[in-house]
Every structure is written in C-alpha cells, then in structure tokens.
Copies of this chain bind each other. A is one copy, B any other.
Amino acid sequence: MQKLVTDIKEAIIRCGLKDGMCIGFHHHLRGGDYVLNMVMDEIAKLGIKDITINASSIHDGHLPLIEHMKKGVVTGLVTAYIGPAVGKAISEGILKRPVVFQTHGYRPCGMEKGEYVPDIAFIAAPTSDPMGNCTGKTGKSACGSLGYAFTDARYAKKTVIITDNLVEYPLAEYSISEVDIDYVVCVDEIGNPEGIVSGTTKLPRNPVSLKIARYAAKAIEASGLLKDGFSFQTGAGGASLAAAGYLKEIMLNKGIKGSYALGGITGYLVDMLNTGCFKALQDVQCFDLKAVESIRENPNHMEISASHYANPMAKSSAASSLDVVVLGATEIDINFNVNVHTDSNGYIIGGSGGHSDVAQCAKMTVIVAPLLRTRHAVIKNKVKCISTPGNTVDILVTEYGISVNPVRKEWEALFKKKGVPIVDIYDLQKKAEKLTGIPEEVNRKNNKVVAEVVYRDGTILDKIYQV
C-alpha cells in the first residue's frame, strides 16, 4: 500500500491516463496555482491528446492552457469560471469543443449524475500525509478551505494529491480522507503564495461603489430580513464588500446577532464573525490570509464542501437557508437577467461561480452594479449571456437608486415605507442611454458556439458565441 510516487509523471502513468479522458482540478490556489500547469505540461510531454478538463475555476495563472488547447492536448473544458486572459483565447475559438460552464453548486451534482466525472483528479493540497489525508489549512501554500476539492476526491475514479508539505502519517486534522486517494506526489511548490491569497481584503473608497453599497444595505435593512438569525453571502468585489461594511455597522449598532455568512470568505466577514455579527462562517473557499488564519484557528469558521455549499441535489445546503445575497453583474437586462460570463463585447471574462446557485436559493437576491461601466450602460434590453435568470433576482441597486423586479413586487411597499429610493429599471436604462447613447448591437461574426451555460438544474441556459 505505497501511494507516494516520485513525480507527477509517474502518478499520471500509474493512473493510466489515455487520450480522450477527463481530468479534474480545484481552484483554491486561485491565481497562484502551479499544479494545473505542471500536470498539463507532463501530459503534453507524454503525447496524450484530447483531454477534457473539469476544473472548478480557471484563472489567468493558467495561461499555458492556451497552448495545450491550440495543440489539441486539451479539447474540452468544464468549469464555473474562466479568467479574462484564457477567456479571450477561448472566445476567439481555440478550443475544439464548447466550454461547458457549470455553477459551483451544480459541479458535484453533475458528477453525482455521472457528467464529466474525472478519470483522474489532481488535488493541490497545502499539507498531506503519505496516504493522502490532507488539508488546506496549514503549510507554506495554505489556502484554507478545500471545499471544491471534496467533490473531486469523492467522485473521481483515481485521485492524486500533489503537495509541497508532506507530513508524517496520520495527519490528524485532515479535511479530505485517505479513503479516496490513490497516489501522493511531493513537489517543491504547489503555488505562489502571493497569488493564492491576497493580504487583508480592504473596503473600496470609490464613491460610486460606496453609494451603491449604502443603498444595498438600506434595502436589506428595509426588507425585514436583517434581524437575529440573519444569514448572508456577498462577493469580494467593490460594492458587494462595501455593502457588508454598512451591514456590519447596522448590526453592531442595533445589536443584531446573525446566524452565518457564506461563500468565498474574506477577512471582512472574519471581522463580522469576531465582533459577533455572525455566529459562524460557512467557508467553501478563502479569499485572503485573514480568512485562512481564521479557518485554521476558529472552530466557528466551518469548512464546507461544494455540495454543502450549494448542490441542488443535496437534501439541503448552506445556500438553501440563505436570507440575503449581494452579487455583481457585468450586464443586467430589463427582465433582470444577469450576465457575469462575458463583457459587453461578448468576450468570456468570468463565469457564474456560485452566482446563480445562491441567487435561486436566497430569500432576497441583490444585484449591485454601477449604471455605467467603462462607458457602457450596464442595463441592456437583453444581456449577451444569461448567467442568472431574472426570475431569481429581487432587486438591482445602482448609484441612482433601486429597481425592484416586478415578480418580487412585495419589496416595494416595504422600501417605500422606509424611504429607500426606488426607480423603474426602464428609467434607469434611459438615464444611462442619455449618457452613453444607445448601445450598438455587436454583430456576431459567426455562429460557432464557444461555450454553453448550464444552469443548476442541468438545463442549458444560454450559449456564448465566437467573437
């Protein structure tokens, strides 16, 4: 029972990788991940072709993927997010088969149903023992939660741990158990610590973001949901994070004891835990060093799997108890459909992550966006790509006020009573068009589909075309 092998090449060979197979990666090392590139380089050297990658996310640190796609080493990609640099290349048509965009919640559900189950999963693990008991909480490349990798370990046919901190058996504080691990490889570095997590996440100072955030917090307060037991998710970007800042003030002033915050966890949510705004954090992914330290030290900072986060086939998930979520958008349309996959030129610059998962689950889904973004109006007649269906969105918050989705009219009365500025989405659209002119329709060069967006119920929500 010897799992420890010399190098990645040996692990690939022992696992029997062949042309046409599917392999899995998780993205907890984010922009600093070396593992995907190291594995793909070995696969390319071995002359293996036609690989499908099922990765929870692809970041711009994975730029070498572009060459592997051009050469046919990689011909398929299943993921919840693609950074703009790799996204641009894919939008220009370098990948043989269309990307399958899933959500973070659907990924484990899909594997449970047998879709894109990795023949081999490669799990970057900041600490592991020689049998594969591993964790992300310790080690020089610590990334905190390994939530998305739980899925790979559980469903992949073969699983390889790649670590740069091999410790004696048994690793007592394991997150993933040896029962699912076939091989363990120790390398010098699994990632660049600076790219894995940022320092402490700081609140934005941009006045537009702050105004949006203030309106969002006001709407949440007016909704009646902000009371003892309150649960909350927010993104890590500008206005979303600032909204958490205003909520913190309100919660501390009023002595509101929330239940939990969910999602990718930042130091800012850690502060809210430590000051008693929440009794727990449910963490599927850490965004900064403060979150990594907290999940290691604080037993109320929970590590949860992707299924526990938002699997729609789970008997419940943390998402299913969620009160409010604050999310961003690159575009939103007059039917409240949200695009987080492409920019306004149609280039892939992101993906759902858990966006549409939590939007569907939360009692109130708040989209925060500035009216204009790089001289484009954010509100469209029709978004270029539906990432999150409008019927799961409650309100849009801009610096000019709040639009309530007509399907969730019940909020309007509450908002009016509390003096929350309400504005019709058509009026917002007109206001933007006054400033920018009516946006030109970007003409599709051809009908080649470069990506399909799969919703959390497994149906195809939209398609993305070659630019």
Contacts and interface: CB of A to CB of B under 8 A. Distances in A.
Interface of A: 1, 3, 131-132, 159, 168-170, 172-174, 177-182, 229, 259-260, 279-280, 282, 299-302, 304-305, 307-308, 311, 314-318, 320-321
Contact of A179 (B174, B280, B305): B305
A173 B173 CA distance: 13
A170 B301 CA distance: 11
B302 A172 contact: yes
B316 A1 contact: yes
A65 to B, nearest CB: 29
B302 A170 contact: yes
Contacts of A229: 168
Given A1-B320, A131-B321, A307-B179, A174 B302 contact: yes
A182 B315 contact: yes
A279 B260 CA distance: 34
A179 B311 contact: yes
Given A1-B321, A321-B1, A316 B181 contact: yes
Contacts of A168: 229, 259, 279
A315 B170 contact: no
Q: Determine how many copies of this chain the complex contains.
A: 2
Interface centre among A177, A260, A279 (most CB of B within 10 A): A177
A280 B170 CA distance: 7
B172 A316 contact: no
Interface centre among A169, A170, A304 (most CB of B within 10 A): A170
A13 to B, nearest CB: 17
Contact of A304 (B131, B177, B314): B177
B315 A172 contact: no
Contacts of A307: 177, 179
Contacts of A321: 1, 131, 169-170
A231 to B, nearest CB: 8
Contacts of A318: 170, 178
B3 A178 contact: no
A170 B316 contact: no
A15 to B, nearest CB: 12
A170 B169 CA distance: 31
A365 B159 CA distance: 31
Contacts of A304: 177
Contacts of A169: 259-260, 321
A179 B311 CA distance: 8
A415 B311 CA distance: 57
27 contacts: A1-B320, A3-B316, A131-B316, A132-B316, A159-B315, A168-B229, A168-B279, A169-B260, A169-B321, A170-B260, A170-B282, A170-B321, A172-B299, A173-B299, A173-B302, A174-B302, A177-B305, A177-B307, A178-B314, A178-B316, A178-B317, A179-B305, A179-B307, A179-B315, A179-B316, A180-B314, A180-B315
| 7 nearest A-B pairs in the assembled complex, by CB-CB distance | A179-B314, A172-B280, A172-B300, A179-B307, A178-B316, A177-B308, A1-B320
